[in-house]
Amino acid sequence: MSSRIAILCSGQAGQHAGMFNLAREDARVVQLLQSWPLEELCGHPLEQILADDKLLFANPIAQPLVVAAILANWEAIKTLIPKPVVVAGYSIGELASWAVAGALNAEEAIRLASMRAKFLQACITADQPQVMLAISLSQTLTQMTEIQPLLQSHGFYVGIDVAEDAVIAGGLLKQADALEAALSNAGGKVTRLPIEIASHTPWMQAAVQPFEQAVEASNIQPPLFPVLAGISGARLHDKTAAAANLSRQLAEPIRWQALMDGLDEAGVTMVIELGPGTALARMLKARHPHIQCRSIEEFRSLAGLKKWVEQYAD
């Protein structure tokens, strides 16, 4: 039976200096990168951004940067693989996934990413910086329902439902120390993420309407293959669903477990994560180990990726 390939588009937190290296093997992609409005929107030359962690992870830069990296990688590999049957994205990666599906051109997707970042940034006040925390359970803290009262009492909300024993939560930075202590005392493990906004939580509600309007005003087209919705895992087939889903996910939790199950239900047998990072590939391997899944960043060359695809494509 022929393989059914899916594409995963990474979110923030995996940025690194070499995130464009593999795509730059393709001379055509190098030219595309020069034509895209990335440096215009970020306010810095790309090489300067890649050499400076502070710039790499600054939200107004990180969001268009991640989308550009995803789309550069997609341009580099799309002729090397069979047509995907579905595409999905994690957080900002969901916006990129619509471009991978052919519903947006790269320039417009990068511009929308920059607008998205600005709308989210406007939800933060100078005296109330925000943060996102990765929270894992332990032998003593065994149910996600046990952490909900702790989150709520500190003004935090679940932003991404990652796994049976892990979530990403967002809230105010000033409450993070106390929440971390409470979770640690209860047996949980907490890691602060290099993300400056409480994405996918009610703290971002003011960004929903303006971003919905921005997507509606874009030249978005019907996708060439289905896009999975982050907030539900549902398969979306038309452009009218894009604005509502891409905007709602700013202030509603991402149901990543449901989305991974959606890939399995769609009969997907191979998955390629476009990066930056390898987190999505690792999560999918853990939940559905029968699916062949790798991140583009696991390969040293485009030829190596092509060889892997050909090995499992039939």
pLDDT in tens, 6-15: 999 999 999 9
Q: Which residues contact 47 (CB under 8 A, 6 or more apart)?
A: none
- pLDDT reported for residue 147: 83
- pLDDT reported for residue 48: 98
Percent of the chain with pLDDT over 90: 88
**Sheet hosting strand 157-163, strand order edge to edge:** 157-163, 166-172, 130-136, 189-192
Percent of the chain with pLDDT over 70: 97
User: How does 60-92 read in b/e, with b if 16+ C-beta sit within 10 Å?
Assistant: bbbbbbbbbbbbbbbbbbeeebeebbbbbbbbb
- pLDDT reported for residue 187: 82
Of residues 304 and 144, more confidence is placed in 304
Average pLDDT value for residue range 290-305: 96
How far apart, in Å, do the first and last CA atoms of the chain sit?
A: 6
Average pLDDT value for residue range 306-313: 89
Q: What single-letter DSSP state applies at residue 127?
A: T
Q: Where are the alpha helices (DSSP H) in 43-86?
A: 46-50, 53-56, 59-77
Q: Using one digit for the tens of pLDDT, what is the confidence trace for 130-186? A: 999 999 987 566 567 778 889 999 999 999 999 888 999 999 999 999 999 999 888
**Paired residues of 190 in beta bridges:** 135
Average of per-residue pLDDT values in the chain: 94
Domains of the chain: 5-123+203-312 (3.40.366.10), 130-195 (3.30.70.250)
Q: Using one digit for the tens of pLDDT, what is the confidence trace for 20-62? A: 999 999 999 999 999 999 999 999 999 999 999 999 999 999 9
- pLDDT reported for residue 1: 42
- pLDDT reported for residue 314: 63
Closest CA to 284 of 275, 297, 271: 271
- pLDDT reported for residue 164: 85
Q: Using one digit for the tens of pLDDT, what is the confidence trace for 84-93? A: 999 999 999 9
Question: Using CA atoms, how far apart are residues 15 and 17, in angstroms rounded to an integer?
Answer: 7
Asked whether residue 312 carries a pLDDT value surpassing 90, the answer given is no
- pLDDT reported for residue 84: 97
Asked whether residue 254 carries a pLDDT value surpassing 90, the answer given is yes
Q: Using one digit for the tens of pLDDT, what is the confidence trace for 214-233? A: 999 999 999 999 999 999 99
